[in-house]
Amino acid sequence: MYAAKPPSKDAYALILEAIDVGVFKPGDRLVESDLAERFGVSRTPVREALQRLETQNLLTRDGRSLIVASLDHNQMAELYVVRTELEGLAAKLAAQHATEEEIKVLQERIDIDRTRSNDPQALSRSNRRFHKQLHLASHNRFLVKQLDLVYRSMALLATTSLAVEGRGPVALDEHQAIVTAIANRDGQAAFDAVRVHLSEAFVTRLKHDDPD
């Protein structure tokens, strides 16, 4: 009887996740040999993954090296416009289609997050899970796919707005407004709550990145 082969590691997914969770930050140089050793894969799939990430504009050239890309002010503003419209639509659809169980999970995430509101990194990770759950509650696979692309670009922002002092508890109140609207099956209120939430996040980020 043959032993089952261990699952192969996807170099692209591993590097992408590392960028998403902030292991690799904008401006960090990615070296093929180092990545292969870090993730326990051969250099060929790493090379292919890096080429793919460069094509998706998540990596950029610095001479002969590849570094994690960053977003300038205009790109960040454009990203928030698209994110607001798409995520507002997701919340609006969730108000129509989310199951009671999905709404319960969203509420439980908020309740748990209130216990970690003073831990920006933990809250940031949990925040991504909350928003992903919100997207899935829309029950629209095409919208979820587009939002995945938007959030992939969000990983190119060097910091999280949740790291700003006092932002965590306020953001959770904004999450609550979204979930309450969804639970009330009020699509427009859910869309508006997302718009307020992301507008405040954007303003917070702008102030944090340019304190003067």
State the DSSP H helix or E strand holding residue 182, giving kind and residue range, or none if neither: helix 167-183
Q: Which CATH architecture has domain 11-68?
A: Orthogonal Bundle (1.10)
Domain layout of the chain by residue ranges: 11-68, 73-209
CB atoms within 10 A of CB 154: 18
End-to-end CA distance of the chain: 68
pTM: 0.81
Q: What is the pLDDT of residue 146?
A: 96
Please give the CATH number for the structural domain made up of 73-209. 1.20.120.530
pLDDT truncated to tens, each residue of the chain (212 aa)?
Answer: 444 433 456 999 899 888 877 789 889 999 999 999 999 999 999 999 999 999 988 999 988 889 999 888 899 999 999 999 999 999 999 999 999 999 999 999 999 999 987 787 788 888 889 999 999 999 999 999 999 989 888 888 866 777 777 888 999 999 999 999 999 999 999 999 999 999 999 998 888 765 44
Alpha-carbon separation of residue 16 from 53, 108, 152, 159, 185 (angstroms): 8, 28, 8, 17, 35
Q: What is the 3-state secondary structure (H, E, C) of 128-152?
A: HHHHHHHHHCCCCHHHHHHHHHHHH
Q: What is the rounded distance in angstroms from the CA atom of residue 164 to the CA atom of residue 182? A: 27
Q: What tokens were used for 188?
A: 């427009």
Q: What is the rounded distance in angstroms from the CA atom of residue 17 to the CA atom of residue 186? A: 34
